[in-house]
Structure formats: C-alpha cells, structure tokens
Amino acid sequence: MLSSALITLALALAASARPARFGRRAAFDLANGQAAIALNDQFKTLTADSPCTAPQDACVNQGFAQCVSGKFVIQPCAAGTICAALPLVNSAGTSITCTTQADLDARIAAVSHLGALWCPILNSFIFQTGATAGAAAPPAAPPTAPPAAPPAAPSTAPPTTPPTGNNVGGGAATGSAAAQALQTSLTLDPSVICTNFTDNGQNPPTAGQSPSLTSTNNYINFCALTLPATPLTNGGQITTGSCNPTPIGLIPSVDKMPSAKFSFPKNGQTIPANVAFNITLNILNLQAGVFTNAVKTYFAAPQTLNAQGLIIGHSHVVIETLDSLDQTTPTDPQKHLFFKGINSAAVNGVLTAEVAATNPVGVTVASGSVGVPPGAYRLCTINSSANHQPVIVPVAQHGSLDDCVYVRLLPLHIGYMLTCFSQFTAA
C-alpha cells in the first residue's frame, strides 16, 4: 500500500488537472510533448557531418535538414525563426518545422507541463522516501554510474584516415627495414623475448595471489597445447570457443587511455518508444572509425596506435532489455535488443549511432518497426581496437573505459502522466 503522504501527493496532483485531461487527448498531449523535448535535445547534438538515413528529417544548426544519400541537406529557416520538433495536437507524434522560439516554448509548455513537472516530482518523492507498490523503486542513477563526461575531444585530435599497409599506426611502430622483414619470419626473434615471462610472480609467495603461467618463448606455440580439440581463432568468430595466437600489441601511455560518455540518452532519461532516435557518444583518446572485416579478421591483428599514441579502433553500442530499472540479476550476454558497431570517425569528438529498427537475437522484427519497444533498458559502449578486441591499457587500476546508462522507454500512444501514476498505484 502507498503511504498516506504519497496518497496525499497523488490526490493533490490529480486534483490539479481536469479529469478530461486523462482521456485520449491527454494521452496524445503528454506523450507528444515528451517526444518533442527528446527530439529537440537530440537535434542539439547533430552537425552537418552527422550520419543519417533517408527519409530522416531533423534540425541541424537551427536549420531544417533532410537526409539525402546519407548526408544532411540543410535549409536555413527564415530570419527570427528556428527549426524545432513540435508536438502534434490531434494525434500522436511530432512535426519538424521552422517556428519562433516563443511559439516552441508555448507549445511544449501547453502539452507537457504536467508530465514534465509532476512526474519527476513524484518519482523523486518515491525514491527519497522508499515508498513502493510491491517492489523497490530504482535509484536515480545506478551505483556503477560512470564519472562526469570527459572533454568532447582530445587536445591533439588524431587523424581520421585509417592506417595503411600492415595496419600499424605511425612513428616508431613502423620499425626499421630489418624489423619489417621479421614480420614474415616463422622464427621468434631474440629481441622480443620477455625474460620476465619465466617468473610466475610468486617468488616469494604473496597471500591472495595465484601463480601465473610461464614461458621461455613468449607463448609462441601456446595454442598447440589445445589443438585439435580447440581450434585456432584464425580471424573468425567461433561460438564454440577457440585459441587465439595474436599478440596484444601496442599499449598506450596512461594519459592516452580512452574513455566515453553518452550524451544522448542520458542516464535515467525517459524517451518515447517506437520512435527512431540517434545515440550520441562523447569519445576521448580513441582514433575511431577504423573497423576491419569482423567475419575474416576478428582478433586477427594486434592493437595499434596512431602517431599521437592513441589506440586505433572504433566503438560499439548495445541495448539490453531489463525486467526493471532496479534489476540486480546479471543479463545474458547472448541476448541483446540492439547492437551496432560504429565504423565512422568521430565528428568533433562525438560518435553517432542511429536506432531506426531493433533486431533482437532470435526474434523477427515486424516490417516497418522503428525505435525501441516500451520497457527498461541498459545502453552500454564497447570500445575496441581495429580488429574488434576490447581496448587494452597499460595499468590495472584505471577508470572505466566504457559507459553505461539506464533508461526507460514509454509508449507514445499513452499519457506520460498516466504511466507515471500507474507505476506507484498498482496493487
């Protein structure tokens, strides 16, 4: 049962709105206002170079933009007007057009003031008091939330062109002619033998530590121990398990470790379901946009660095379905609702991934379906080297190299306020 204080608050909120507002018109109004707010927030992250998919319309640099051949074609609005998403009045959805700032503010306020104001207040009240209706309310932010967003771009921007030749970046990595010749040799060169590999790390023993495997030849034939039962990875994604002989490769300095932070959606944000949207990601210290053939070259080359010492690679975004935002059961890595490897370079330190249609593993998506269905979700990044292995950094103790946010998607066809109230009044 709800506490008396919560009941009082709920009744006060209900009394502040006319009963007619909770009909079908209210459902459109409140949801449309939320959808327009979400779209306008998303438009702020777009640039003329942002990727797009026809027939997508958007607002870019306050101008009306249409996607043509994967690029935004921008038409400036008339003087004194800006491009914006406006909530529709008589049906579910939004429209994108040029209007004045005053008109935009008035339209948004007229249809979304209840949902935008009272629902967050009610949520805040629930979370602070611990009042629930059958289950504990989720925290405003998960305990593992990443730190504040990094700068949008490193101080020395890396080149956006992929490396050539043997996929080694630049500088000392190219090596001498003799070193290049060694790349075709089938013999381990003495200059690369790591003598510390013969030490298991327990001389003397240390409580709480386990002895390491050891090798006198850099584990060059390690995978021979498990052949033929365990096949070589050999550039493939072998779902039954494999052994990969590829070295880790070049590792950046501590001041060049990559980091990422979602700019849309934000942690704890509520966005409309079944509406296409762009995930935007601020990326730091990664030369993004280098993406090898994942079918033939998976884990098939070492990690490399560019001339600035940054890892050469790319990022991924993945959306996983949760039972609720307060779920504590680990998710199943074999299941995801949406996955995308971002093979484009960052624009002003920002990566973009369009969520136009989800493709759950083992589920056929209905033709024409867009966006993400209603529910609770976790969105995470996977920052990788060019050949798809997770990025490797020089020290064990470091901040997270990836980001996760937890979001709720609500149906566009029902009232945002009705949904808000229903969470806390269910038996």
pLDDT-derived band at 26 (thresholds 50, 70, 90) equals: low
How far apart CA 58 and CA 261 sit, in angstroms, is 23
Q: What is the pLDDT of residue 80?
A: 92
Q: Are 398 and 260 within 8 A, CB to CB?
A: no
Q: Are strands 286-287 and 311-322 parallel, antiparallel or unpaired?
A: parallel
Q: What letter would DSSP give residue 394?
A: S
pLDDT band at 53 (very low <50, low <70, confident <90, very high): confident
Do the strands 277-284 and 350-355 form a parallel or antiparallel pair, or are they unpaired? antiparallel
The winner for highest mean pLDDT among 47-56, 156-165, 407-416 is 47-56
What does the pLDDT read at residue 333?
Answer: 96
The answer to whether the CB of 51 falls within 8 A of the CB of 352 is yes
Q: Tell me how far CA of residue 357 lies from CA of 71, 121, 400, in angstroms.
A: 19, 32, 29
If one compares 401 and 172, the residue with the highest pLDDT of the two is 401
Q: What is the pLDDT of residue 419?
A: 39
Give the pLDDT confidence score for residue 418 in this predicted structure: 38
Q: How high is the pLDDT of residue 6?
A: 39
Exposed (0-12), middle (13-18) or buried (19+): which is 113, by Cβ within 10 Å?
Answer: middle
CA atoms within 13 A on the CB side of 309: 11
Angle 204-209-210 from CA coordinates, rounded to 5°: 95
pLDDT band at 56 (very low <50, low <70, confident <90, very high): confident
Predicted confidence (pLDDT) at residue 306 exceeds the cutoff of 80: yes
> Residue 284: pLDDT above 60?
yes
Q: Is 229 helix (H, G, I), strand (E, B) or coil?
A: coil
Which DSSP string corresponds to 286-330?
Answer: EE------TTT-BT-S-B-B-TTSPEEEEEEEEEEEES-TT--SP
pLDDT in tens, 311-342: 999 999 999 999 999 999 999 999 999 999 99
**Using CA atoms, how far apart are residues 320 and 288, in angstroms rounded to an integer?**
23
Choose between 140 and 402: higher pLDDT. 402
> What is the average pLDDT across 131-143?
32
Residues composing the chain:
427
Give yes or no for residue 236 having a pLDDT over 50. Answer: yes
Residue 121, pLDDT above cutoff 50: no
pLDDT band at 27 (very low <50, low <70, confident <90, very high): low
Q: Is the pLDDT of residue 407 over 50?
A: yes
Token readout for 316 is 């991924």
Indicate the helix (H) or strand (E) that contains 15: helix 4-15
pLDDT digits (tens, 9 = 90+) for 141-168: 333 333 333 333 333 333 333 343 334 4
Q: Is the predicted pLDDT of residue 295 greater than 70, yes or no?
A: yes
Burial status of residue 192 (CB atoms within 10 A of its CB: 0-12, 13-18, 19 or more): exposed
pLDDT in tens, 253-279: 999 999 999 999 999 998 888 878 889
Please give the Cα distance from 6 to 14 (Å, whole number). Answer: 12
Tokens representing residue 227 in the block: 């052949």
CB atoms within 10 A of CB 266: 14
Instruction: Specify the range with the lowest mean pLDDT, choosing from 147-156, 301-310, 356-365, 368-377.
Output: 147-156
182 vs 185: CA distance, rounded Å:
5
Percentage above 70 pLDDT, the chain:
70
Residues 6+ apart with CB under 8 A from 69: 54
**Residue given tokens 């993945």 in the structure block:** 318
How high is the pLDDT of residue 35?
Answer: 78
| 185 token code pair | 């040799």
**Which has the minimum average pLDDT: 144-153, 197-206, 301-310, 340-349?**
144-153
Residue 136 above 70 pLDDT? no
Asked if residue 98 has pLDDT above 80, the reply is: yes
Q: Give the pLDDT of residue 188.
A: 93
State which of 142-156, 358-372, 412-426 shows the largest mean pLDDT: 358-372
Orientation of helix 24-43 relative to helix 101-129, angle to 10°: 100
Q: What is the dihedral of CA 314, 320, 325, 327, to 10 degrees?
A: -110
pTM: 0.62
The pLDDT assigned to 30 comes to: 66
- Domains in the chain with CATH codes: 4-131 (no CATH), 144-172+213-411 (2.60.40.10)
